[in-house]
Amino acid sequence: MKSILSINFIRFIPIVFSIGILISIFFYPGGNIHDNSQIGYSFTHNFLSDLGGYQSHSGEVNFISSFFFAFSLFLFGFAGIAFLFIPQIFKEDKINYFLALVGSAFFMLGSFFFAGVGLTPHDLFMDEHIFFALNAFRFLIPASFLYLIVLYRSHADKFFSLVLFFLLVSTFAYVIYQLSGGNPMEDMNEMIKQATIQKLIVMVNIFCVFFISFAFSQQLKRSN
């Protein structure tokens, strides 16, 4: 029963997150790092973190947008907890069970760090915000790698292994880009590039987490 609820919750989180972010975007007053006169939110000129600031870059109070942003990311903390119940569906294979346990621990840490991003507005707690934002994706690399092995060795369709492989490669490439990219505060073109890539990797993560929840459902049915 706990496994079923956890799977449904993991499937539910990407949907609620997407809705929350869209609402946050709708209410964002405007402005970006280099242009405080910009009206509203821009996919290419704003980072997702802009939604969570106490004030927007235009100088206006950003309460509604920041509330939905923080709420959406805070839910990821609960998704991490839900992942702790997933290894139970792989318990018939000791190796898969162990790998899933460790993978779930990394997913939980990554989820908690995403929650930390939402709870530390960039304009109030810049250092803490950057710390959470940089490391959240890094925890997903070992988590994705371990679950890739688990799904490949399990009863789930190999399509789901490909989904996790895509998540692993995409996240790894993004982390490398984070380490080697320029400073968006100093260069508008760099800001546009980083803001766009950030949203693409977030969408990849949302879709992949949603899809692998079906792999868990499939494994649960086939193991019963």
Q: Kindly tell me if the per-residue pLDDT of 1 is higher than 70.
A: no
Residue 105 CA to residue 47 CA, distance in Å, equals: 28
Query: Which residues does 51 contact at the CB level (< 8 Å), separation at least 6?
Result: 21, 24, 25, 28, 41, 62, 65, 66, 68, 69
Residue 135 CA to residue 138 CA, distance in Å, equals: 5
pTM: 0.91
Each residue's pLDDT tens digit, 109-130? 999 999 999 999 999 999 999 9
φ, ψ for residue 153, nearest 5 deg: -90, -5
Each residue's pLDDT tens digit, 163-173? 999 999 999 99
Phi-psi region of 40 (alpha: psi -120 to 50; beta: other; left: phi over 0): left
Considering only residues 206 and 1, tell me which one the structure prediction assigns the higher pLDDT: 206
Residue 70 CA to residue 83 CA, distance in Å, equals: 21
> What's the DSSP call for residue 40?
S
Domains: count for the chain: 1
Domain, as residue range, for 119: 2-223
